[in-house]
Amino acid sequence: MPGIGLDLLEIDRMERALERRPLIAERLFTDLERAYASRRARPAQHLAARFCAKEAVAKALGLTSWSHRDVEVVSDQEGPRVRLAGAAARRAGQLGVAPAVSLTHDRMTAGAVAVLTPARPRSSR
């Protein structure tokens, strides 16, 4: 269905990938995302959820060529939200949408859902 994306990942897959190729974290995640995960007891669990969010957003936007760093997941008191750059931002602008995400994880699996919502007009000041 256009406008909705879903992705799941086994957390141990992320852990193994990070052990085998530590630089992959720099290619897939922004400094902010890596810093957030590093403050957690099991960083790969949080990186896996963010990876799923990136994939879910790309699916919702219908992206075929993009960088994982074009989708950044930030968390604040209201929960996770997405910042877009590059190809993801251009596509969202073309569609007039903004993605909303929901992340989840347990001991074994991480997942995320992305839903496109109408973009809010920017206020002029």
Q: Which domain holds residue 55?
A: 4-118
For residue 64, the SS3 value is coil
Count structural domains, the chain.
1
pLDDT, tens digit (0-9, with 9 covering 90-100), for 79-119? 999 999 999 999 999 999 999 999 999 999 999 999 999 98
pLDDT, tens digit (0-9, with 9 covering 90-100), for 20-45? 998 999 999 999 999 999 999 999 99
AA letter at 12: D
Whether 125 has a pLDDT exceeding 70, the answer reads no
Q: Which pTM value belongs to this model?
A: 0.92
CATH code where residue 106 lies: 3.90.470.20
Q: Is residue 111 part of a domain?
A: yes
Q: Is residue 99 part of a domain?
A: yes
**DSSP codes joined into one string, 1-21:** -TTEEEEEEEHHHHHHHHHH-
Cβ atoms 87, 63 nearer than 8 A: yes
Distance CA 36, CA 46 (A): 8
Q: Is residue 125 part of a domain?
A: no
Q: Is residue 124 part of a domain?
A: no
Q: Is residue 10 part of a domain?
A: yes
